[in-house]
Amino acid sequence: MIWTNLNGNIFRFLFVVCFLTGCSLTLKAQTTHLDKLKQKFEQGDVFKAAFSHESIDSYTQDTVSSRGKIWVGQQRYKISGNNQLVVVDGQVSMVYDDRRNRVIISKYEPKEDDFAPSRILNGIDSTFAIKTQEKQDNQIYIRLASDDPFAIYKKVEIYLSLALVPQKIRAVDPVDNIITTCFRNGKFIEAQEGLFVLDYPQGAEVVDMRN
């Protein structure tokens, strides 16, 4: 698991964003809003946004919050937050911790990454069904649900702008913890050279775990 030194709840949840980039859900042979969103990533667009994340424990009601920035492309992503920067390019994962001035490089293993599009393509999409898809005021609301006891979430609510820009994702896990991520200033941009390259100080300690 590449998130050992990161806030696990955040990145377990943010896999839903990659779920949007990779899944292909159908509803009575109609083209769904998620299908249209998927096409943006297939065309090479990158979703860029600031995010705020909140996780509420269903038993204790304890709340964990954090903020950061995110860039999501097809099969690759970058996340900045919690004094760490993470870049995954589909082959290699790199994590820079500025508190320790250390970079950890490892071979990317999609099956070990809760945020991986390939994991979604390997089964998550088939466990979810679209229960609701409708316009609400100036938003598109989509509710997904799963009866699979092994699914990471049993319900996911997605809020998109009318231009199909993700605005909020709210999920409920099997023990009723509520995880919400809101996106601010979200937009799709053209992929730029070097966007998914990890920049770190010259004197940082580098731990290469690929060998």
Give the whole-angstrom CA distance, residue 44 versus residue 46.
7
Write the pLDDT tens digit of every residue in 111-143: 555 554 434 433 345 677 888 888 888 899 988
The alpha-helical segments, DSSP class H, found in the chain are 8-22, 33-42, 117-119, 125-127
166-172 and 178-190: which strand pairing?
A: antiparallel
Write the pLDDT tens digit of every residue in 66-90: 888 988 887 788 888 878 898 888 7
- For the whole prediction, is pTM greater than 0.75? yes
Average pLDDT for residues 86-102, to the nearest whole number? 89
In which band, very low, low, confident or very high, does the pLDDT at 3 lie, cut at 50, 70 and 90? very low
Among 19-23, 152-156, 192-196, name the one with the lowest average pLDDT: 19-23
Q: Which fold has domain 8-208?
A: outer membrane lipoprotein receptor (LolB), chain A (2.50.20)
Give the whole-angstrom CA distance, residue 96 versus residue 72.
18
- Domains of the chain, residue spans: 8-208
157 and 169 Cβ atoms separated by less than 8 Å: yes
Which of 131, 138, 135, 122 is CA-nearest to residue 154? Answer: 131
Give the whole-angstrom CA distance, residue 56 versus residue 34.
27
Integer-rounded Cα Rg, in Å, for the chain is 17
Write the pLDDT tens digit of every residue in 156-186: 888 999 998 989 888 888 899 998 889 999 9
102-107 and 205-208: which strand pairing?
A: parallel
Phi-psi region of 127 (alpha: psi -120 to 50; beta: other; left: phi over 0): alpha
